[in-house]
A and B are shown apart, each in its own frame.
Chain A
Amino acid sequence: MPPGSRHNSPGLAAFLRRVEAMVIRELNKNWQSHAFDGFEVNWTEPQQTVTCLHTLGYPPAQGQGLHVTSVSWNSTGSVVACAYGRLDDGDWSTLKAFVCAWNLDRRGLNPRQPSAVVEVPSAVMCLAFHPTQPSHIAGGLYSGEVLVWDMSRPEDPLLWRTGLTDDTHTDPVYQVVWLPEPRYSYRFRVLSVATDGKVLLWQAAGPGQLQLTEGFALVVQQLPRNTKLKKPHRGETEVGTTAVAFSSFDPSLFVLGTEGGFPLKCSLAAEEAALTRMPSSVSLRAPAQFTFSPHGGPVYSVSCSPFHRNLFLSAGTDGHIHLYSMLQAQPLTSLQLSHKYLFAVRWSPVRPLVFAAASGEGDVQLFDLQKSSQKPTVSIKQTQDESPVYCLEFNCQQTQLLAAGDAKGTVKVWQLSTEFTEQGPSETEDLEQLAAEVAT
């Protein structure tokens, strides 16, 4: 901005002198006016109901009784992929499983024939498409491995794998996330979270090899003591981690969901060494900085608000959703959405007060905190026989779409009504108000 030069100062001053009074008058009138209260304009034809656009499945996987454990939309929003595996108790390490992808924009889409199928030697627990490469996808296996595939190469899709080394997780990997590298934000690494208590960062190094670059380990003795937790079982030192979500505002801040039911606030920049005897080629650090008050059961999903830096949601097997503020251990709100388990919760990418949850009773529940803080606004029945819905993801490019995967091996793509995709007039302010209800 060029600094005001002497030449336009008098002219500019005179102009401002002329208009100031009128502008101030209008600002005041506007502040006090109720002329536009409740006035809303409809520019688009409102979509009234929630409809099921696609019902996708891979018969060979469904025939084996495989569950959809995870869904992911790619960077262009036109491809949805699902991971097949099992989420119930059992040894699924040698179960033949699949990763399937459907291109929803392609003509002649066959819902029972994915555009791409990858066979995987162990149950796939989680998936995440690359943030910019439309065909690269990372997956975490029951065996503890992390793999990256290129879905556009049907003959040889596997790009990189961790293999089974001392560094690899020794327990199922529950979630994988792509993170930009600190200095080259167009390059990405994969972060994996498993119930062995390790949070690991992998980078592609050498042909086909994912190498460990950084790692964290969570140990009971190093958990921040700001919240009183149940005494761990004798001999138990690791904290099983089952979910992860990164803050949209601070790229080094992340929230972990744990088997103990207590979310943890963590930082990638933590420096304290972890007191663990687990072997590792890089030194493992203790990342936890704050312990949140627990659910009555393991937390399988956490989600950080894209609109407020302090808010995040967690879903527990106690059937409750907790809304937490980073500033206090007790949740701001606790909602019981299910009498069975809750497996997934996600904030809407466009509506600050909306989130979706996947229940063990087979429903996808959509909450609009602006309409009701107690009941879901819409409860979508995904499965006919009350089999659980295990995962869901909003499509960030086509914001009216929500994909959900269930225990019957089906992925349903739901089209949401306009009320779920258009922000209300004072929604950001209402969110601020909600976040400010922190106890003093």
Chain B
Amino acid sequence: MGVTTKNLLVNFCPDLFQAEVEETLKRIQSHKGVIGTMVVNAEGIPIRTTLDNSTTVQYAGLLHQLTMKARSTVRDIDPQNDLTFLRIRSKKHEIMVAPDKEYLLIVIQNPCE
């Protein structure tokens, strides 16, 4: 997509992207066992969430730090490698983090026992 076309879309149909974001998050949140979904930006600040404020802030801060540490661990072992996905399994549920240059997608799922 050319820069001009994208600019046009951003300026004239911003709702298109907004709706797509909401639809995607809704699809993920409605998956079996999902307790919460959130998107965090590169600074560790949450920009979308389905959980309450205090829980979200806690998850965002802690998982952002952990993801950065996980990424540097992978790259220190092999500089040609990079982190693609992070999963933390605990007694009560599983936390999944899909990392990226600008954002983190965090999904908390209570898997079927």
Residues of A within 8 A of B (CB): 1-2, 4, 6, 8-13, 15-20, 22-24, 26-28, 30-33, 36-37, 423, 425-426, 429
Contact = CB atoms under 8 A, between A and B. Distances in A.
Nearest to A2: B47
Contact of A20 (B28, B47, B48): B28
B105 A6 contact: no
Contacts of B24: 13, 16-17, 20
A9 B47 contact: no
What are the 5 tightest A-B residue pairs by CB atom distance, in nearest-first order? A9-B17, A19-B98, A6-B14, A16-B24, A13-B17
Contacts of B48: 1, 4, 12
A10 B17 contact: yes
B34 interface: yes
Contacts of A19: 98, 100, 105
Most chain A beta carbons < 10 A, residue from B34, B102, B113: B113
B28 A23 contact: yes
B109 A30 contact: yes
B49 A1 contact: yes
Interface string B58-93: 000000000000000000000000000101010110
Contacts of A33: 111
Main secondary structure of the interface of B (DSSP, over half): mixed
A205 B45 CA distance: 49
12 contacts: A9-B14, A12-B39, A13-B21, A16-B25, A23-B107, A24-B27, A27-B34, A28-B32, A30-B33, A30-B94, A37-B113, A426-B113
A23 B113 CA distance: 20
Given A10-B10, A426-B113, A27 B31 contact: yes
B113 A15 contact: no
Contacts of A20: 24, 27-28
B104 to A, nearest CB: 9
Given A10-B10, A31-B32, A22 B98 contact: yes
Contacts of A16: 20-21, 24-25, 39, 105
Contacts of B103: 11-12, 15
A425 B32 contact: no
B92 to A, nearest CB: 7
Contacts of B85: 22, 26
A24 B21 contact: no
A9 B33 CA distance: 27
A17 to B, nearest CB: 7
Given A17-B24, A31-B112, A423 B49 contact: no
Contacts of B112: 31-32
Contacts of B107: 23, 27
A395 to B, nearest CB: 23
B27 A4 contact: no
A422 to B, nearest CB: 9
B96 A27 contact: yes
Contact of B96 (A9, A18, A26): A26
A79 to B, nearest CB: 31
B71 to A, nearest CB: 15
A19 to B, nearest CB: 4
Given A4-B48, A18-B100, A9 B18 contact: yes
B47 A12 contact: yes
Given A13-B20, A13-B24, A27-B107, 16 more contacts: A1-B48, A1-B56, A6-B14, A9-B18, A9-B21, A15-B100, A17-B24, A19-B105, A23-B105, A23-B107, A27-B31, A27-B109, A30-B96, A30-B109, A31-B112, A37-B113
B1 to A, nearest CB: 10
A24 B29 CA distance: 10
A27 B97 CA distance: 11
Nearest to B99: A19
Nearest to A4: B18
Given A20-B28, A27-B32, A31-B111, A8 B47 contact: yes
Contacts of A426: 113
A196 B102 CA distance: 69
Nearest to A428: B92
A307 B85 CA distance: 34
Contacts of A4: 18, 21, 47-48
Contacts of A22: 85, 98
B113 A10 contact: no
Contact of A36 (B9, B89, B102): B89
A1 B113 CA distance: 34
Nearest to A8: B47
A425 B25 CA distance: 28
B109 to A, nearest CB: 6
Contacts of B113: 37, 425-426, 429
